[in-house]
Chains A and B, each alone.
Chain A
Amino acid sequence: MPVLSDDLKAQLRERLAETLTGAVELRLRVRPSTGPLIIPGAATCETCDPCREIAEGFAEASDHVRLAVTEDRSVTAPVLEVARPGEPARITFEGLPSGYEFTGLLDAVERVSSADAGLSAETRTALDALEKDVELMVFVTPT
C-alpha cells in the first residue's frame, strides 16, 4: 500500500507550487531495497522503503526539490537531510517522518526553500550571538 495516496500527492504538488521559491535538496540514506524478498536472519530497515517513497513524493511534486539517495547496507533506519544545494545539511529526520513528522518535513522543506526560519527578531539576535555550535536532538513519535 503506497505511503502517499494520489490525493496527498496532488495536495503536495499544489502546496509546493505555492510555497517553494528556492531550490531544496533532500539527501536520503537508506538500506538497499530487497522488495518483497525476506532474507531470514538478515538485518532490515522496515522504514527505508516508505521513507524513500515520501522523499520521492516531494521530488516529484516540485521542480525545486532534488533528491539524492545513497544506499548503504549498514543502515537500519533512514536518515533524510534537508538542505540548500551545495550547503551542509543542518536539518535531519532520522527514522520515518510519518504522522505529525510529515508536517514537520513539509515545514522544513518550505523554510529551507525560502530561507525563512519564521523566528522572532529577538531569537535571531540571540542566535547571531552564539559562539559555539549547538546540536538539538528532538525525540518524537509519529502520533
Chain B
Amino acid sequence: MAIASPRVRARTIEANEFPDLSQRHGVRGVPQTVVNGTGVFVGAMPEPAFVERVLAYAREEAAG
C-alpha cells in the first residue's frame, strides 16, 4: 500500500526490539497492525480484508 500511495507509510516493527512501543499498543500476538496509532487488528489476512480494515479505521479517524 505504501508503494501504491504517497499517503501511506508502512512500518514493520520487530516487537521484541521495541518493547515499549509494543506494550503501548498492547501487542500480544503477531502480526498486529496498528492504523494511525489507534485502529488495531491482529492476524494475517487476504488483501481485500486487510485493505478494508485499514480504510475503515482511516475513515473513522477522519470522521473524528
Contact = CB atoms under 8 A, between A and B. Distances in A.
Contacts of A101: 12, 14
Chain A interface residue bracket vs B: 35 or more
A132 B58 contact: yes
B contacts with A: majority SS: mixed
B47 A127 contact: no
B51 to A, nearest CB: 5
Contacts of B6: 90
A136 B34 contact: yes
Interface stretch (A2-10, A32-40, A54-62, A109-117): A109-117
Interface string B26-55: 010011111111000000000110010011
B5 A130 contact: yes
A138 interface: yes
Contacts of A104: 12
A141 B30 CA distance: 7
A139 B31 contact: yes
B36 A92 contact: no
Contacts of B37: 135, 137
A140 B12 contact: yes
A97 B13 CA distance: 9
24 contacts: A93-B12, A94-B11, A111-B3, A115-B3, A119-B47, A120-B47, A124-B4, A127-B1, A130-B8, A132-B62, A133-B7, A133-B8, A134-B7, A134-B9, A134-B35, A135-B8, A135-B11, A135-B36, A136-B33, A137-B11, A137-B25, A139-B15, A139-B32, A140-B30
